[in-house]
Chain A
């Protein structure tokens, strides 16, 4: 069971959250072309290590969180809002 420290609600069980995937992908400019959009939508770094990812706190504040989590140890290093890097 992951325990995710939501900046607004405090530390909560993972069952309160929905995973929303890789948060390192940035939407390209509208005229960036097919290759850029294919990479944005489909290609993933899939690291064995630290991973920047989205979690939606559906059972709490309903905010989107950006979480830095280790994909092998599942340790959570930092949690912030969508505007954080």
Chain B
């Protein structure tokens, strides 16, 4: 399940605790090697790495309101550029080659859902917010465990759907049930 979660949901008649938001990413012109790691800091929700072709690939926070539009708006582009220059002032003269927006399934507590549902045989793996590309190897393993053994993997047991009603949300930023704030 991905950002089209709401459609899968309406077919199954399930209401899920998530919203779709747009997240932008940027690629700069190619430059000589400057970074051999993925550099990130959580306070600004900024990350940057360098591709094999030399371009810097970077991004930041979601635009901040419900959107299925696969394009970003300028205020967040400015904020991401400011975060980049705050972290690495030497990037100030770098030119951006391209930019795009992808739709993220943002949960109400900012953590993914790997869970059985009230519908027998329907398992939900979604709501990956910012973390899908980084965390999905573990997400796949724990989902396979849930399917094969009919019991949650110990690493993902706390990511069940019931956590919301039970009041044990996994809200790492501590901002409350607002997807636009994670």
Where the two chains meet, the residues of A that have a C-beta atom closer than 8 Å to any C-beta of B are: 1-2, 13-15, 19, 21-22, 34-35, 38-39, 41-48, 51, 53, 69, 71-74
Interface of A is mostly: mixed
Contact residue among B9, B17, B66, B180 (Cβ-Cβ distance under 8 Å from A42)? B17
The interface of chain B, by Cβ under 8 A from chain A, is 5-7, 9, 15-20, 64-69, 73-75, 108, 164-165, 177-180
A41 to chain B: which residues have CB within 8 Å?
108, 164, 177
Residue pair A73, B69 in contact (C-beta under 8 Å): yes
Query: Which residue in chain B gives the minimum CB-CB distance to A41?
Result: B177
Contact A71 B75 (CB under 8 A): no
A43→B16 contact, CB < 8 A: yes
Q: A21-B178, A48-B6, A48-B68 are in contact. Are A42 and B108 (CB under 8 A)?
A: yes
Chain B's closest residue to A19 (CB) is B65
- Option from A34, A38, A72 in Cβ contact (under 8 Å) with B68: A72
| A53 B73 Cβ-Cβ under 8 A | no
Once the chains bind, are B165 and A35 in contact (CB under 8 Å)?
yes
Contact call B18/A46, Cβ cutoff below 8 A:
yes
Report Cα–Cα, A35/B16, bound state, in Å.
13
Check A48 against B20 for contact (C-beta < 8 Å): yes
Known contacts A42-B108, A46-B5; 17 additional CB pairs below 8 A are: A1-B73, A19-B65, A19-B180, A21-B19, A38-B165, A39-B15, A41-B164, A44-B17, A44-B108, A45-B15, A46-B9, A46-B20, A53-B66, A69-B65, A71-B20, A71-B67, A72-B68
